[in-house]
Chains A and B, each alone.
Chain A
Amino acid sequence: IVLTQSPVTLSLSPGNSATIFCRASVRIDSGTLAWYRQRPGQAPSLLIYGASKRASGISERISASGSGTDFTLTLIRLEPDDSAVYYCQQCDSTPYTFGQGTKLEIK
């Protein structure tokens, strides 16, 4: 299953909102779509699982939705610390795959 993210890069100002899209090449169970954030030099960290459920400790500024083949991640009231690369991932069927990433720059 190929996951295609858009946009590839996003440059926004603090306080704005960001929306990242993830499209699957085939329909997947929404319970199997996750979103991760990766800061430079760090491992990815889980933000969202089951397409819309926030992981433990994740800010309410982050939300996600979607079903079938189209999924979105939304961040509101952007802060400089939100600068990172964001990945979607499916665990619907093996081999599990990640999107190519969206680099979010806050400046």
Chain B
Amino acid sequence: EVQLMESGGDLVQPGGYLRLSCSGSGFTFRNHGMSWVRQAPGKGPEWVSGITGVGGRPFHIDAVKGRFTISRDNSKSTLYLEMNNLRVDDTAVYFCARDRSPGGSYDDAFDLWGQGTAVTVS
């Protein structure tokens, strides 16, 4: 079955650290760019970070730049998001999402999403 599964969300104090993981299965993981998208309670989705299939061109939105780091280990078909110096406004459900095109970049729609993992900073 083609799927993504996130883990690592938790309740953490402001200034704390978390590492989220996203395991892909049922498809050639290295062929697809991947992203993290978060959704705060009652809000719409917000794209946070993206990375190419080979682990290049990591991008982070300004709100998390310098605090979050996206990476991937294609040998384990796993995407990561390291989150440092967490703030209350980082509270959200974090989804990993696959780029639709198997060209390796992250400049297309997201055709596969995980179920999300909840991060609460309080």
Contacts and interface: CB of A to CB of B under 8 A. Distances in A.
A21 interface: no
Interface of A: 32, 34, 36, 38, 42-46, 49-50, 55-56, 85, 87, 89, 91, 94-101
Contacts of A85: 44
Given A87-B45, A97-B47, A43 B114 contact: yes
A42 B110 CA distance: 15
Interface in B35-67: 35, 37, 44-47, 50, 59, 61-62
Contact of A96 (B47, B95, B100, B113): B47
Contact of B44 (A32, A94, A100): A100
Contacts of B73: none
Interface of B: 35, 37, 44-47, 50, 59, 61-62, 95, 100, 106-111, 113-116
A99 B59 contact: no
B59 A43 contact: no
Given A36-B45, A96-B47, 9 more contacts: A43-B95, A43-B114, A46-B100, A49-B108, A85-B44, A95-B59, A95-B62, A98-B45, A98-B47
A46 B110 contact: yes
Task: Kindly name the residue among B50, B106, B113 whose own CB sees the greatest number of chain A CB atoms within 10 A.
Answer: B113
Contact of A87 (B44, B61, B62): B44
